[in-house]
Amino acid sequence: MTPSKKITFSRRSFLKSSALASGGMIIGFNLFNACKPEAKLPVDLSQLNYSDFNAFIKISEEGKVTIFSPNPEIGQGVKTSMPMIIAEELEVAWDDVYVVQAPLDTKNYTRQVAGGSQSIRHGWEALRQTGATAKQMLVNAAAARWGIETSECKVKEGVITNTKDETLGYGDVVLEAALLEVPEEVTLKDPKDFTIIGQGKSNVDIDKIITGKPLYGLDYKEEGMLYAAVLRPPAFGQVLESFDDSGARSLPGVVDVITIGEKLRAFKDSGKTNWSMQMSTTDKVVVIGKTTWDAMKGKKAIKAIWKKDSELESTENHDKELLDLLDSKDLTTKRSDGDVKKAFAEADTVLERIYEAPFLPHNCLEPMNFFANVTPEKVHLVGPVQTPASAQKVVSELLERDIEDVHVEMTRMGGGFGRRLYGDFVYEAAEISNVIQKPIKMVSSREDDMTTGVYRPASKYKIAASIKDGKLTGYHLKEACINVNMYGLIPNFFPAGAVKNYQVDTANYKSNITTGAWRAPYTNFLASAEQSFFDELAEVLNIDRVKLHMDLLENVKNNPEPNIEYSPERLQGVLKLAVEKSNWGKAADGVYQGLSVYYCHNTHVAEVADVILENGVPNVKKVTCAVDCGIVINPLGAMNQIRGGVLDGIGHAMYSDFGFNNGVPQSSNFNTYQLIRMGQTPKVDVHFVESNLDPTGLGEPTLPPVGAAVANAIYKATGKRLTKQPYMKNMNVEEKVLG
Amino acid sequence: MPTFNLKINNETHTVEADMDTPLLWVLRDKINLVGTKYGCGIGQCGACNIHVDGNVMRSCLLQVSQAEGMSITTIEGLSEHGDHPVQQAWKEIDVPQCGYCQAGQIMTASAFLDKNPKPTESQIRNAMHGNICRCASYNSIEQAVKVASEKMS
């Protein structure tokens, strides 16, 4: 990136400003679409036109700055980091900035989605321009008042100073600034002058979180609101045959018992589909209660009879189907370089391994829930959803209402991990309220949440390497997944471009079990598979593990390949940093180290796991994590994301297991499903590659590599190669007993 | 429906509820103290942790009929101004990611430090082992408990 740069953009671009009726000014901006030329900002904040603008800065006459954060907050920190970028270029003190979640519902598509670690990457330039533009307008207004050139003005922390040391606060000139044209050219700061970006800033909701203030969907209440518990089929492949609700109706807290499903079936029967509708279309029994407990208790009292509608699938069958696919003719080639067939035919040795991973539920600690109030006038929806625009559109079609009548508000989310990209819980809530025409909150119990999920699909990989004269000559990866396969760019990840003969093939098995995105989709296990394979490959080639990677990356630098999705220099950079900081190769006696290096979600990461054996049981003591994510916006938030990603990755690779028996999920709560707990966590030691490159996201990229780092370390400790997750179950060791 | 008198955060609340209603749902739905969170309903995750006569307890496992006559503290009543040393430490370390489990974590940590103000690292890890953080902010939680213990001693 060049230091302080001038940015020119068309007046009819993504920014509009307006004076506020109450005094002050607002600047509205659309992050990813140029707004329509005719779009106008209202002077009343309640009349904001969210279809054209998806984020706002309000500057009051008192000089207070409110930033309406455009992206859903699921714990990844964008509600803090995105406003930090605006505040930096606006030149205000962070303490004077107030951040609120914009109650967005958009008509036009914008990237108002939390997912794929992309919020910061996409927002970076636009957020900076927005802050810089607002600052420029305020400075222009001050210069006009003083009758001087803008170049004679300086700004620091919201105060404009002229050469005579006279000062004007932003609040003093905000009324004049609001009437000015939006400048066509603004200058962005030199990153070395950043005073907010790169400083650790606490989560903006911290005070509310630590004092228990209402923030989450489950906390949202309205006058007269009732609670709804939904009885869904216990097994995938079942539909409702009949039910007896007399027991439920006899309970004092039960207000009503209804069924839903009709609207959803009508939607689907009309030929419409929507990606976010990962849910059964059967009739479901809904108990409406005065409190959450009343609804849950009522649901338990329903006697329902379910009948088989499609196959009742089991993990045993899935395993067989996926293994068969890896050797079948049904594979589709996603990328092919050179001649893999020839390389394998001419090989001295072939190394081939199969890697396996189970389904996983997301298990957001706040179970799925949503508020809906459907009235003849409007449809009001409030709750934790990562995709509000899509929810609005689908609900309008589902209930056959004008899209303008459907209002979606987002709350803070008690975790996302991909689960809240889907809208099943929104559609259920809307249909329930539509039936009873009262405000309701649909609340899933933990059991509902875990057994009617949108799971990470089970997957298996077969990886093969051909070796000739002691050198790697070919690499062939096959993927077999439930329902869907890796998305388009993944076949271009390392080692694409590093091995002359390279091929990626995929196939899937269509299941009636609902599946979808789960933190770092596909790569969350692919990285474990590939980076475990490379560890074994280095051993077979009798080459140092680090050298093998460095050499392969050197190949890419020497023979640049445009169609790859990583930077060999940056992968080498993180690898070097991790090796240096972890004391790689120089660990103390009894400490076994494993390495993994990976690129995904635009961020380069290398990790070293230190494992010890306690009574023969592996215990991960430390993970050294080197990250290249460009400029680090908020080091505190970044550390949280990185450490969380590493520990989440270890937990799911080591302990979490999920499968099906005749369509019924094997676990339904945390007594049988294991999530990582404090006693199982290592210290995560984080190191950033210093960089002036544009920032990339951190919500996902540190999770995928860590499984292999741990598996490779356990191999060194035990001599056992781990290829099937969760590792602890499949290596047949008892979990460490604490205390 | 029977009536219960509950002493919560030094105030008396009279509520009508079924005998078997978990205190969690009385707090959340009847008294509007929503800081205590629902996570699993079976005492596995600790999101609903409160103090009962100074001891940490799962409010999802405590029936409202058992809670009469006890002194109950929720996250809202832990300190008057949100400045209990544990809350201060949580803020200093910037522990929360999604934040949903943190009230339960803070209630566990504060009851633990009351009884053991200068814990060892392994005592901290054991004490906090019953609270799940799905975002896995465990490193920060551990660090914050240490910082809080320094503040309290």
Residues of A in contact with B137 (CB under 8 A): 640, 643-644
A592 membership: H or E segment, kind and range: strand A592-600
Distance from CA of A539 to the nearest CA of B (A): 33
Q: Quick check: A360 and A658 in contact, CB under 8 A?
A: yes
DSSP string, A446-511: HHHHHHS--BBPPEEEEEEEEEETTEEEEEEEEEEEES----TTGGGSTTTTTSSEEEEEEEEE--
Q: Give A522-541 pLDDT, tens digit per residue.
A: 999 999 999 999 999 999 99
Query: How many Cα atoms sit within 13 Å of A635 on the Cβ side?
Result: 11
Euclidean distance between the first and the last CA atom of chain B, given in angstroms as a whole number: 47
ipTM value: 0.98
Confidence of residue A416 (pLDDT cuts 50, 70, 90): very high
- Identify the three-state secondary structure at position A595: strand
The DSSP code for A401 is -
Alpha helices in chain B (DSSP H): 23-25, 85-93, 102-115, 121-127, 138-152
d(Cα B96, Cα B92) in Å, to the nearest integer? 11
Q: Which residues contact B81 (CB under 8 A, 6 or more apart)?
A: none
What's chain A's average pLDDT?
89
What whole-number distance in Å separates Cα of residue A440 and Cα of residue A217?
A: 12
Class of domain B3-77: alpha beta
Q: Which of A211, A219, A671 comes nearest B44 by C-beta?
A: A671
As a whole number of angstroms, the distance between CA A49 and CA A45 comes to 9
Q: Measure the CA–CA gap between A337 and A48, rounded to whole angstroms.
A: 52
Which of A 220-239 lie inside 8 A of B, CB atoms?
221, 227
Q: Which A-chain residues 427-456 have CB contacts (< 8 A) with chain B? A: 445-446
- Give the number of other Cβ atoms within 10 Å of residue A613's Cβ: 15
Quick check: do A6-210 and A221-310+362-451 share a fold? yes
A317-359+455-730: in CATH 3.30.365.10: yes
Give the count of beta carbons closer than 10 Å to the beta carbon of residue A166: 12
Share of chain A above pLDDT 70, in %: 88
pLDDT-based confidence at A4, cuts 50/70/90? Answer: low
Q: Where are the domains of chain B?
A: 3-77, 85-152
Name the residue facing A679 among B34, B103, B126 (closest C-beta): B126
The DSSP annotation for A85-147 comes to HHHHHHT--GGGEEEEE-----SS-------TT-HHHHHHHHHHHHHHHHHHHHHHHHHHHHT
Segments making up each domain of chain A, as ranges: 6-210, 221-310+362-451, 317-359+455-730
Distance CA A311, CA A512 (A): 8
Q: Within the 253-292 window of chain A, which residues sit less than 8 Å (CB to CB) from chain B? A: 253, 291-292
Give the integer Cα–Cα distance in Å for A728 and A708: 14
Q: CA-to-CA distance for A656 and A725, rounded, in angstroms?
A: 8
Domain A6-210: give its CATH architecture.
2-Layer Sandwich (3.30)
By three-state DSSP, how is residue A600 classified? strand
Q: Which two tokens stand for residue A136?
A: 């420029």
Average pLDDT over residues A685-703: 92
Burial of A305 by CB count in 10 Å (0-12 exposed, 13-18 middle, 19+ buried)?
exposed
- Yes or no, beta carbons of A415 and B98 under 8 Å apart: yes
Task: For residue A424, count other CB atoms closer than 10 A to its CB.
Answer: 22
Distance, in angstroms, between A323 CA and closest chain B CA? 31
- Interchain contact, A670 vs B42, CB within 8 Å: yes
Q: Are A426 and A385 in contact (CB under 8 A)?
A: yes
Note whether B129 contacts A415, CB cutoff 8 Å.
Answer: no
Q: What pLDDT score was predicted for residue A112? A: 43
CA angle A605, A610, A612 (to 5 degrees): 160
Shortest Cα distance, chain B CAs vs residue A657, angstroms:
15
User: Helix, strand, coil shares of chain B as percentages rounded to 5?
Assistant: 40, 15, 45
Q: Picking from A122-126, A502-506, A651-655, B142-146, which range would have the lowest pLDDT averaged per residue?
A: A122-126
How many residues are recorded in chain A?
739
- Position A39 confidence tier, pLDDT thresholds 50, 70, 90: very low
Q: Biggest alpha carbon distance in chain B?
A: 48
What is the rounded CA–CA span in Å between residue A106 and residue B77?
39
Beta carbons of A669 and B25 less than 8 Å apart: no
Please tell me which residue of chain B has the smallest CA distance to A446: B40
Contact flag A211-B75 (C-beta cutoff 8 Å): yes
A346-363 pLDDT, tens digit each: 999 999 999 999 999 999
Residues of chain A above pLDDT 90, percent: 72
- Residues contacting residue B31 through CB under 8 Å, at least 6 positions apart: B6, B8, B13, B15
Q: What is the DSSP string of B107-132?
A: HHHHHHHHH-SS--HHHHHHHTTT--
How far is Cα A372 from Cα A429, in angstroms, rounded to an integer? 6
CA–chain centroid gap for A604, Å, is 17
Q: Is the predicted pLDDT of residue A345 greater than 60, yes or no?
A: yes
Integer CA distances (angstroms), A211 to A614, B24, B72, B87, B139, in order: 39, 17, 16, 8, 21
**Chain B interface includes A74 (CB < 8 A):** yes
Residue B68 CA to residue B52 CA, distance in Å, equals 11
> Could you tell me which of A306, A183, A149, A157 has the C-alpha nearest to residue A239?
A306
Yes or no: say if A229 and A220 are a contact pair by the CB < 8 Å rule. no
Torsion of CA A141, A142, A143, A146, to 10 degrees: 120
For testing contact with chain A, the best of B135, B140, B142 (most A CBs within 10 A): B135
Q: What average pLDDT does this structure show over A602-629? A: 96
pLDDT tens string, chain B, 153 residues long: the values are 899 999 999 999 999 999 999 999 999 999 999 999 999 999 999 999 999 999 999 999 999 999 999 999 999 999 999 999 999 999 999 999 999 999 999 999 999 999 999 999 999 999 999 999 999 999 999 999 999 999 998
CATH 1.10.150.120 fits B85-152, yes or no: yes
For residue B48, list chain A residues with Cβ-Cβ distance below 8 A: none
* Spatial separation of the C-alpha atoms in residues A724 and A720, rounded to whole Å: 12
**At residue A129, does pLDDT exceed 90?**
no
Q: Pick from A217, A228, A256: which is nearest to A442 by CA?
A: A228
**CB within 8 Å of A310: residues ≥ 6 apart:** A237, A512
Amino acid A74: pLDDT: 60
Closest CA to A529 of A477, A481, A574: A477
Is residue A71 over pLDDT 90?
A: no
Quote the pLDDT of residue A481.
98
- Segment A417-441 mean pLDDT: 97
Contacts of A216 in chain B (CB under 8 A): 37, 100
**DSSP code of A515?**
B
**CA atoms within a 13 Å half-sphere pointing along the CA-CB vector of A279:** 27
User: For residue A616, which amino acid is it?
Assistant: G
As beta bridge partners, residue A167 has A161
Q: Do B136 and A205 touch (CB under 8 A)?
A: no
CATH 3.30.365.10 fits A221-310+362-451, yes or no: yes
| pLDDT tens sequence across B11-33 | 999 999 999 999 999 999 999 99
- Residue B94 CB contacts under 8 Å (≥ 6 apart), including other chains: A200, A202, A203, A206, A636, A637, A640, B140
Give the pLDDT of residue A80.
81
Both tokens of A365, joined, read: 């600690």
